[in-house]
Structure 1
Amino acid sequence: MRDFDIPLPIARALLNPVFRVILNNRLPWRAQRVLMDVMSRAQLVPGDTVVHRLRLAGRRAERLTAAGSADGRSGPSAATADAILYLHGGGFAVGSMTTHRSLAARLAHGTGRPVYVLDYRLAPEHPFPAGLEDAQAAFLELVRELGHLPERIAIAGDSAGGGLALATAQRLIADHGLTPAALGLIAPWTDPNLIPERERDLVINRRWSRSCAAAYLGDGDGDDPGYAPLRGELSGLPPTYLQVDESELLYGQCVDLAAALREAGVDLRFTETRGLWHVAQLQAALIGPAADAVRELSDFLREPSQPVFVRDLG
């Protein structure tokens, strides 16, 4: 599964100027999206991945599976198959199925489950709650139309998509009484109201993140827990795995989320890495430690029944 293992200092030196150019608040959103898609070509998809294009709740989506594994419809009935709904990151304004296809494919291989990646609506054209409505509707269609059991669907996401995954789970529990199987959160952005103390990390910078937050909020209420799920109801959430690197602008927010989840009684596994960067899991095809993180997340999503709280600073 691991294609390359570029030394971390070299990878950081190569990626730093790329992210400085692409994730720039002076660059139009459309240009950022195109450049992100182009950059993602370096994030290799395993050759034995099956990509099936479909629509979920009216939105484009992809179902990724490993060749020869269950595709969500095999076995005694469709309802017996596990599945993962993946919500991509990108500040709610960029990112796509293309940028996250490699990561989603590796989760499909690592879990043996079909991974559904949703093309939810992006800001500023579609501010909050458009993306949240799309994610909730996609989960419900997986249940009502594709026959998956809600308690056997995990929701995962990174950065803004991680925040969206948390908000989606909260809405499903509150509005429909449906609790997903698990949550897999990679450096989730769970309160866009909070302003980072530092100017930037390797990937994101404060000005860009503030532009994303404003674009996503639009005319909405910043106190709405759908926008800032860290402020919402956390009790009753399913087993959750939270990954973050200590160098990230979102590190403090993730530590606060971990503490709040534990206080709410949520079964939690929390790992902190040192030496990676914001959602380095996207570069799992190129970076050994990033591939390790994806494998650990896959292990959790495959068997989320016995999570524990750990702090990994190695």
Structure 2
Amino acid sequence: MNKTTEGWICGLVGVAIFSGSMPATKLAVTGFDPVFLTAARAALAAVLGALCLARLRASPPARTDGWPLVTVALCVVVGFPLLSAMALRHMTASRSILFLGLLPLATAFFGVLRGGERPRAPFWLCSAGGAGLVVLMAARQGGGGFGIADLTMGASVLLCGLGYAEGGALARRLGGWQVICWALLVAAPFMTLVALMLCPPSLHGIPPAAWLGLGYVTVFSMLVGFIFWYRGLALGGIAAVGQVQLLQPFLAFALAAVLLHEAIGWPLVLTAAGVACCVAGARRFAARVTPIEPTRA
């Protein structure tokens, strides 16, 4: 298997894991404050990350990697989880998926700025077409006008795109698992303090679904998914592999239907087929980059 194909497979696995993030967060905020949830998931995931780094005897990152790691921490450990959790207190999981359709474009845009990639014009057409299909479909599903929750979710998507691009570029040197583990440790002192300050006075009465949601976003959304995702971006290209995210809303809709009983129908299936064609087109016309094996995978 060549490295580019491996990158796309890793990216797809990462997206499949991330697809459960919005429904799981929706479950978690039924029992936890969004700020506490953000801090707790990061602090708990940092413990797992520290264990991974110690067990595999990872070398400390170079000084030049310090600010990129801070950027990743601020964007994907703090910013996106916090803003999306706040938004999900006032919107359905289905409506939040509307904004996920814009994430591949945001990732590709920051991939150009931070990763030095130059996709061709047909790539942008396929990416925009796929994003348009997702947004139209999600708008039809979600309904309603725009409000503060929508602006909050939109800001979270921009931060997430920057964090993905920065982490994907950094993973070319460190390896995907080290990027997220070190980023979690960077944010750990602050997030642990916030979690302790906002910890509920009593854990009795918190529904089991909220605990399940917290467990998922801690282990999978905050750690395991990023291990696959950042490796995929490093091997296959940030802008190119980032288009796999166009499939995330459809996986998330399926989970929302099963876990949250939110309705889906045939229009969703047909739109998913159109989006799959756009992803295939984006892969075909993405700028050809030399796959880079992370130096510390």
Q: Does the pair score TM above 0.5?
A: no
Pick the structure with more helix per residue.
2
TM-score normalised by structure 2 residue count: 0.28
Determine which structure has greater relative contact order: mean sequence separation of CA pairs < 8 Å that are 6+ residues apart, divided by chain length.
Answer: 2
TM-score normalised by structure 1 residue count: 0.27
